[in-house]
Amino acid sequence: MKTDNGRIEFTSEMKKTHKILFPNMAEIHFRILKNVFISYGYDVELLTNTDQSVIDEGLKYVHNDTCYPALLTIGQMISALKSGKYDLDRTALMMSQTGGGCRASNYIHLLRKGLKNAGMGQIPVISINLSGLEKNSGFKITLPMLFRALAAIAYGDMLMLLSNQARPYEINKGETNQLVDIWVEKISKEFEQNKGISAKAIKANLKEIVASFEKIERDGTIKVRVGIVGEIYAKYSALANNNLEEFLFNEGCEVMLPGMLGFLLFKVDNRIEDINLYGGNKIKKFAMKKLYNYLQQFEEFLDEAMQTTDRFINPSKYAHLKELVAPLIGHGCKMGEGWFLTAEMLELAEIGYENIVCAQPFGCLPNHIVGKGMIRQIREVSPDANIVAVDYDPGATKVNQENRIKLMLSVARENLEKKDTNAHEEVANHTA
């Protein structure tokens, strides 16, 4: 059904007949989120196609001056639709829409234009947004669904945090990934049974998750620690960053990938800061503060669970990142990842992940400013920070990207050897 502006609406009848496809980003989080939608009666499939046709279709239907994440997400969906696996008259697409200054707000319009040009204009596109930008009678984000989705993100953050710290050292290869799969299935089943979403249940599950990862046998090797930051899609998506996490793992590194919860807090906090700086709707400010406090509860649950272990590094809370970055950049700088990207690099260096890859997608000017543009200032505050900014776009070769990262890693290994030598010397002097 067409709306007044010509958009194809996802109707309540379509909920019964249509399969909904959506692009992948953060592997663990999105697997759980997919099951949240399924538990509410939607036939949802997470796309995993990553072949060359994704880029080819993106270049064909998205202007090549548009940011790389738009090209990939739209290319992934159109490539899937052309694969012959789906009934195009019973298929819908789903995509997030932020409503902010980032071009991500316009991905949906670019996607609809691409679908029309590809002869598939009948396919409805569902907007996932909390700003009232678009509504569909067949898809509604209710408060219970929202709270369940936020719980899924908290669980995903914990599983990602622990698996990245356990996998490089595991003695029984594959044990960490198996444990992640077990927990994704367990959490998803609890959601289906309306469990695992109360404060008490979340806290208990998170502590149990930590305890289960502590049981993984690990060797005593010392690894180079590397943090990954950047534009949110390029940071998390293996498709966008050419399997960066796996590459670093194969290079013998331990990876720290900051969680999604901090980014959500940043986005909600931005709305509050806007009203503080420029004035605005007091009711909106009250609602945003309520949501901010709710997100902070999840942060507290994660922190409380991590306090039960001394085996894993516990990242800092959002409030500390905001305080950490204040001397370098204003909190009104919020386009793209804004000041939060700079803060993530400062925090990674502070907790021992001073070797950092900053994933910069083509066409994302704000991230080049608050990422690449802030490296010198970060090094002034954290002299040990060893940062490489890597550009990701259709024309950039994987070999070139990996060579830049390898140069960073060679410096990282030299620094690690120096620290190890100095540590041995200190022990020897103390013994003498």
Reported as a single tens digit per residue, the pLDDT across 257-271 is 999 999 999 999 998
State the pLDDT at residue 282: 86
Same domain, 254 and 380: yes
State the pLDDT at residue 365: 81
Same domain, 253 and 388: yes
407 within a domain of the structure (yes/no): yes
Tens digits of residue pLDDT in 78-89: 999 999 999 999
Same domain, 231 and 85: no
Higher per-residue pLDDT: 428 or 311: 311
Q: DSSP string spanning 240-267? A: TTTSHHHHHHHTTEEEE---HHHHHHHH
Same domain, 395 and 247: yes
In this prediction, residue 320 has a pLDDT band, given cuts at 50, 70 and 90, of very high
290 within a domain of the structure (yes/no): no
Quick one: CA dihedral 191, 192, 194, 195, positive or negative?
A: negative
State the pLDDT at residue 427: 46
97 within a domain of the structure (yes/no): yes
Mean pLDDT computed over 161-166: 98
Mean pLDDT computed over 185-214: 95
Q: What CA–CA distance (Å, rounded) separates 115 from 110?
A: 9
Which segment of 13-17, 213-217, 283-287 scores lowest on mean pLDDT?
Answer: 283-287
Which segment of 1-10, 175-184, 223-232, 311-320 scores lowest on mean pLDDT?
Answer: 1-10
State the pLDDT at residue 6: 67
Same domain, 254 and 370: yes
Same domain, 116 and 241: no
State the pLDDT at residue 131: 66
Q: What share of the chain is helix, strand, coil (3-state, %, to 5)?
A: 60, 10, 30
State the pLDDT at residue 3: 59
254 within a domain of the structure (yes/no): yes
Q: What CA–CA distance (Å, rounded) separates 120 from 106?
A: 19
Same domain, 227 and 367: yes
Per-residue tokens: 180: 């992640």
Tens digits of residue pLDDT in 371-417: 999 999 999 999 999 999 999 998 888 999 999 999 999 999 999 98
DSSP 8-state symbol, 168: G
268 within a domain of the structure (yes/no): no
75 within a domain of the structure (yes/no): yes
113 within a domain of the structure (yes/no): yes
Same domain, 109 and 241: no
Q: DSSP string spanning 85-119? A: -S-GGGEEEEEE---SSSGGGGHHHHHHHHHHHTT
pLDDT at 2 over 70: no
Q: What CA–CA distance (Å, rounded) separates 411 from 388?
A: 11
pLDDT at 166 over 50: yes
171 within a domain of the structure (yes/no): no
Same domain, 248 and 120: no
**Nearest alpha-carbon partner for 234 in 88, 372, 101:** 372
- Average pLDDT value over all residues in the chain: 91
Which segment of 76-85, 108-117, 251-260 scores lowest on mean pLDDT?
Answer: 108-117
In our burial notation (b when 16+ CB lie closer than 10 A, e otherwise), range 45-75 reads bbbebbeebbbebbebbbeeebbbbbbbbbb
Q: Which among 113, 140, 167 is the end of a domain? A: 140
We report the CATH number of the domain holding residue 246 as: 3.40.50
Please give the order of strands across the beta sheet that includes 19-22: 43-46, 19-22, 91-96, 125-128
Q: Which among 109, 140, 171 is the end of a domain? A: 140
pLDDT at 7 over 70: yes
Residues above pLDDT 70, as percent of the chain: 93
Confirm if 9 and 136 have CB atoms less than 8 A apart. Answer: yes
DSSP 8-state symbol, 429: H
Q: Which among 124, 140, 156 is the end of a domain? A: 140
Confirm if 88 and 18 have CB atoms less than 8 A apart. Answer: no
- Interacting residues of 77 by C-beta distance below 8 A, sequence separation 6+: 21, 23, 47, 93, 95, 111
Same domain, 254 and 121: no
Residue 73: domain span: 12-140
Same domain, 133 and 227: no
Tens digits of residue pLDDT in 115-151: 999 999 999 999 887 666 688 889 988 889 999 999 9
State the pLDDT at residue 136: 86
Same domain, 136 and 231: no
In this prediction, residue 65 has a pLDDT band, given cuts at 50, 70 and 90, of confident
Domain count, the chain: 2
Q: What CA–CA distance (Å, rounded) separates 341 from 356?
A: 12
Strand, helix or coil for residue 209 = helix
Per-residue tokens: 52: 């060359």
pLDDT at 432 over 60: no
State the pLDDT at residue 281: 87
**DSSP-H helix ranges across 127-259:** 143-166, 175-192, 199-214, 232-236, 244-250
Tens digits of residue pLDDT in 321-353: 999 999 999 998 888 899 999 999 999 999 999
